[in-house]
Amino acid sequence: MSTQVDRGTDGARIARVTDPSSLELRGVTKLFGEGPLATPVVQDCSFTLESGKLTAMIGPSGCGKSTIAFLVAGFERPTRGEVLLDGQAVSQPSHERLLIFQETALMPWLTTYENVMFGPKMRRAANKDTKRRAEELLERVGLREFRDKYPLQLSGGMQRRAELARALINDPKVMVLDEPFRGLDAMTRVLMQEYYSALFEEGGRTSLFITTDIDEAIFLADRLLIMTNLPARVREVIDVDLPRPRDKEEVLVSERANEIKEQAFDVLHEEALKSFAGGNKAAADFVEAYTRRQETTD
């Protein structure tokens, strides 16, 4: 993978990926436990993260999406099947595949700048170029004035932005984001969605974005992977053929966005019913929301 440095509309330097990578899961099954007690969390799951595209994964709560994120990042290994990055087997964590977790993973004893520089320092790649890049990224994510603040001195949205900068400085081939905006207040969440959409459109980095929010998925993605109830596999793939750049208010009221949303809702409702029938109480919220939505639209 190679990048070139361009200037954004605000004059900031942007690292644009010129030959983005692809990642593939081939027949992946992941079991937890031993012997007859082993439980499949992911089963016979196959999909491709297309080069330079943002793929959103959405499915019932507890269906195994986070396990897939760990498999892609290399923190877990498949029981069966393969995870391939540009045709090469993924066997361990690497700065080439970086995962942003659901909860903040900033180190509280390090400043914002020190957190961003942590990866290059651990790889013994810290030099004048990476230090300059860290300053540019902090400027890009609006945290230059907070470079010397500690995580507890930052708001939730600022922490998320700091984690984006910490990931991007390593120039990963694939970005994996596991419900990164969960827990943020509604206004901050919308701002972060718009923020990440702009960063993706400027950089063109292959990305997997995991979410339980259909509107978020449609706004951000080039393609949706609708997952089954536990154990996880791909139930349906939907192309999000909406033009970029995107404005959330305009995109989500378009006829095409509503068609995609209805299609996704119908599949998710079927899987949520299965999940609820299997004892997953978290699925009840989606089933109730779907029922109310149908009553409103009928």
The domains found in the chain, sorted by start residue, are 3-96+172-249 (3.40.50.300)
Q: What are φ and ψ of residue 172, in 5° steps?
A: -70, 150
Q: What CA dihedral angle connects 86, 168, 245 and 209, to 10 degrees? A: 60
Question: pTM for the whole thing?
Answer: 0.88
Element (H, E) at 256: helix 255-277
CB 77 within 8 A of CB 28: no
Confidence (pLDDT) at 104? 86
> What would the pLDDT profile of 196-220 be if each residue is shown by its tens digit?
999 999 889 999 999 999 999 999 9
More confident residue, 84 or 183: 84
Element (H, E) at 192: helix 186-203
More confident residue, 75 or 271: 75
The pairing of strands 39-49 and 23-32 is: antiparallel
The pairing of strands 80-85 and 88-89 is: antiparallel
> What would the pLDDT profile of 37-49 be if each residue is shown by its tens digit?
899 999 999 999 9
The pairing of strands 97-100 and 174-178 is: parallel
Query: Angle at the Cα of 114 (from 108 to 120), degrees rounded to 5?
Result: 120
β-sheet bridge partners, residue 9: none
